[in-house]
């Protein structure tokens, strides 16, 4: 097996891991989930779910990657998981399809950022013309999506060509601090709007225990899995790049803290402004692409703040897209004789082809997201926890979880073995019954 590159610095490692986790799931999905599931109760349980389930699940995926020094295709097989190689290839195909629609959505963000920048100099255009129609086909939308998705994948490939340290790690060290600064500037503007206090109260202060229903609890658990990029793919690959002496427990806690913080900051940008202008916080996925442009259109220098927001969102989501492509590149280089540079361009081309179907209309995009995003991610997180808890030797797991000379508490191993898979299975069952079969209402 080829030698494996590892991270150069602790800051670069944490910036990269936070960059993987922070993406559309935090700045786009988290705010609209908060809006749909009632504000403060959802936020509180989401933070608890990240601590109790997300952090140990993240440790499990890093353990699987570092112990095997492979991506998902080889990791499950090396761990001794039944039919592990076949399962790894299934996840490989799932990530390919998911990266296609994710890169496409990232192209929407890029187009919205370009529109806001053009508006800043008086040359604005309608950013919604890139969005797929609800049904049917729009040639203009399709061509714009092809162009922007191609640019996104080309930008990702340029970073991947430079490898882990000179490419992914260096880009993360720059983008993550810039993202933080951008969000703080936007928060300052949002909180100073007249009427913003009511949005802040609804978002973080108005907590009624009776509002913490079963749907809210399970939705928060699902968001915890989604926002940390768990799923047996991204974090397994990046775990394989961890140095042997890197403390998994401490790094998992810091990564989760950065991830949750980014989501909370995104909410502080959005909800005070939404309430200040009397808009609907429960508008669903359109909260970002429909509601926010209206907000920016109503405030002084809104074009500048809109451009800053969408550029910050693009930066966050870009690192997640880089991570997704790295999963695929590692899958090819680990299991074939294709050299890395050729694998990068081959992967980018295949992902572009997978991006074409969801460009057609929302009737294709929605089920595509449902199947290859929510579905595969939940199953992958479950399989990773089961593989670490039941297939990898217990002594090897405890060794991976040790921080220097500090051995892990035995309850942590048992928590990963029993509790994490049970909770993820519960989340997956809820997703199946609500989003797929429609047996129960999701809200």
- The structural domains of the chain, with segments of one domain joined by +, span 10-436
Q: Collapsing DSSP states into helix, strand and coil, what is residue 403? A: strand
Q: In this predicted model, which residue has the larger pLDDT, 389 or 293?
A: 389
Name the phi and psi angles at 406, rounded to 5.
Answer: -95, 105
CA distance 381 to 422: 11
| pLDDT exceeds 80 at position 130 | yes
| pLDDT exceeds 90 at position 280 | no
SS3 string, 328-378, reads HHHHHHHHCCCCHHHHHHHHHHHHHHHHHHHHCCHHHHHHHHHHHHHHHHH
Q: In this predicted model, which residue has the larger pLDDT, 76 or 193?
A: 76
Q: Please give the pLDDT value at position 225.
A: 86
**pTM assigned to the model:** 0.86
| In contact, 317 and 176? CB cutoff 8 Å | no
Q: In this predicted model, which residue has the larger pLDDT, 440 or 130?
A: 130
Q: Which residue has the tokens 């990046």?
A: 238
Q: In the chain, what percentage of residues exceed pLDDT 70?
A: 93
Token reading at 240: 């394989």
| pLDDT exceeds 80 at position 16 | no
Cα-Cα-Cα-Cα torsion 209, 213, 219, 225, nearest 10 degrees, comes to: 60
Q: Please give the pLDDT value at position 435.
A: 64
Could you tell me the pLDDT band of residue 443, with boundaries at 50, 70 and 90? Answer: very low
| In contact, 260 and 53? CB cutoff 8 Å | no
Q: Which residue has the tokens 């939705």?
A: 219
Q: Please give the pLDDT value at position 143.
A: 97
Q: Go through 312-324 and write b for each residue having 16 or more CB atoms within 10 A of its CB, e for each that does not.
A: bbbbbbbbbbbbb
Length of the chain: 443
**Top-confidence range, 19-23, 142-146, 432-436:** 142-146
- Angle at which helices 10-21 and 248-276 pack, to 10 degrees? 50
Could you tell me the pLDDT band of residue 3, with boundaries at 50, 70 and 90? Answer: low
Mean of the pLDDT values across residues 341-359? Answer: 95
Q: Which of 97-111, 306-320, 376-390 has the lowest mean pLDDT?
A: 306-320
Could you tell me the pLDDT band of residue 48, with boundaries at 50, 70 and 90? Answer: very high
Q: In the chain, what percentage of residues exceed pLDDT 90?
A: 35
Largest CA distance in the chain: 64
Share the mean pLDDT of the chain: 85
CA distance 232 to 28: 22
Q: In this predicted model, which residue has the larger pLDDT, 99 or 216?
A: 99
Q: In this predicted model, which residue has the larger pLDDT, 1 or 232?
A: 232
CA distance 273 to 232: 37
Q: Please give the pLDDT value at position 4.
A: 66
Mean of the pLDDT values across residues 353-380? Answer: 86
Cα-Cα-Cα-Cα torsion 433, 47, 255, 399, nearest 10 degrees, comes to: -80
Token reading at 184: 């703080």
Q: Please give the pLDDT value at position 363.
A: 87
Q: How would you classify residue 243: left for phi > 0, otherwise alpha for psi between -120 and 50, otherwise beta?
A: beta
What count of other Cβ atoms lies within 10 Å of the Cβ of residue 55?
22
CA distance 168 to 345: 16
Mean of the pLDDT values across residues 366-375? Answer: 77
Mean of the pLDDT values across residues 87-101? Answer: 91
Q: Collapsing DSSP states into helix, strand and coil, what is residue 183? A: helix
Nearest to 74 by CA among 370, 333, 399, 389: 333
Mean of the pLDDT values across residues 251-271? Answer: 89
pLDDT tens digits along 307-332? 887 887 787 788 888 888 988 998 89
| In contact, 427 and 377? CB cutoff 8 Å | no
CA distance 420 to 438: 25
Mean of the pLDDT values across residues 77-88? Answer: 93
CATH number of 10-436: 1.10.4160.10
Q: Please give the pLDDT value at position 282.
A: 77
pLDDT tens digits along 388-429? 999 999 999 999 999 776 788 999 999 999 999 998 888 778
Q: In this predicted model, which residue has the larger pLDDT, 394 or 121?
A: 394
Q: Please give the pLDDT value at position 442.
A: 47
Q: How would you classify residue 39: left for phi > 0, otherwise alpha for psi between -120 and 50, otherwise beta?
A: left
Could you tell me the pLDDT band of residue 1, with boundaries at 50, 70 and 90? Answer: very low
Please compute Rg for the chain using Cα positions.
21
Mean of the pLDDT values across residues 182-187? Answer: 83
Q: Collapsing DSSP states into helix, strand and coil, what is residue 130? A: helix
């Amino acid at each position: 097996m080829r030698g494996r590159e590892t991270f150069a610095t602790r800051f670069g490692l944490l910036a990269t891991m936070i960059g993987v986790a922070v993406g559309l799931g935090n700045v786009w999905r988290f705010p609209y989930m908060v809006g749909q599931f009632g504000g403060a109760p959802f936020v509180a349980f989401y933070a608890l779910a990240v601590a109790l389930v997300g952090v140990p699940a993240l440790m499990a995926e890093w353990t699987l990657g570092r112990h095997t020094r492979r991506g998902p295709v080889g990791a499950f097989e090396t761990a001794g998981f039944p039919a592990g190689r076949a399962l790894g290839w299934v996840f490989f195909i799932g990530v390919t399809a998911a990266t296609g629609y994710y890169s496409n959505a990232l192209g929407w963000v890029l187009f919205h950022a370009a529109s806001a920048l053009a508006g800043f100099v008086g040359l604005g255009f309608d950013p919604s013309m890139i969005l797929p129609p609800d049904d049917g086909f729009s040639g203009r939308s399709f061509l714009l999506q092809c162009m922007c998705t191609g640019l996104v994948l080309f930008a990702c490939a340029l970073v991947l060509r430079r490898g882990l340290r000179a490419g992914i790690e260096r880009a993360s060290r720059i983008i993550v601090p810039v993202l933080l600064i951008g969000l703080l500037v936007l928060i300052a503007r949002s909180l100073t709007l007249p009427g913003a206090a009511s949005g802040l109260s609804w978002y973080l202060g108005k907590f009624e225990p009776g509002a913490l229903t079963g749907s809210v609890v399970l939705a928060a658990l699902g968001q915890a899995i989604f926002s940390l990029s768990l799923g047996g793919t991204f974090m397994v690959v990046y775990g394989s790049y961890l140095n042997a002496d890197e403390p998994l427990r401490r790094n998992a806690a810091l990564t989760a803290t950065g991830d949750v913080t980014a989501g909370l900051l995104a909410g502080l940008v959005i909800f005070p402004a939404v309430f200040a202008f009397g808009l609907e916080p429960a508008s669903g996925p359109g909260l970002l692409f429909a509601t926010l442009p209206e907000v920016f259109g109503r405030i002084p220098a809104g074009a500048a703040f809109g451009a800053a927001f969408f550029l910050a969102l693009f930066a966050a989501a870009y690192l997640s897209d880089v991570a997704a492509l790295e999963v695929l590149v590692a899958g090819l280089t680990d299991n074939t004789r294709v050299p890395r540079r050729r694998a990068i361009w081959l992967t980018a081309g295949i992902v572009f082809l997978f991006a074409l179907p969801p460009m057609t209309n929302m009737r294709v995009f929605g089920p595509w997201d449902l199947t290859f995003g929510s579905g595969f991610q939940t199953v992958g997180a479950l399989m990773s926890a089961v593989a670490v808890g039941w297939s990898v030797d217990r002594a090897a797991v405890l060794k991976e979880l040790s921080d220097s000379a500090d051995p892990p508490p035995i309850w942590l191993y048992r928590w990963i073995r029993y509790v994490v898979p049970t909770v993820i299975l519960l989340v997956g069952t809820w997703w199946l019954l609500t989003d797929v079969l429609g047996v129960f209402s999701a809200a």
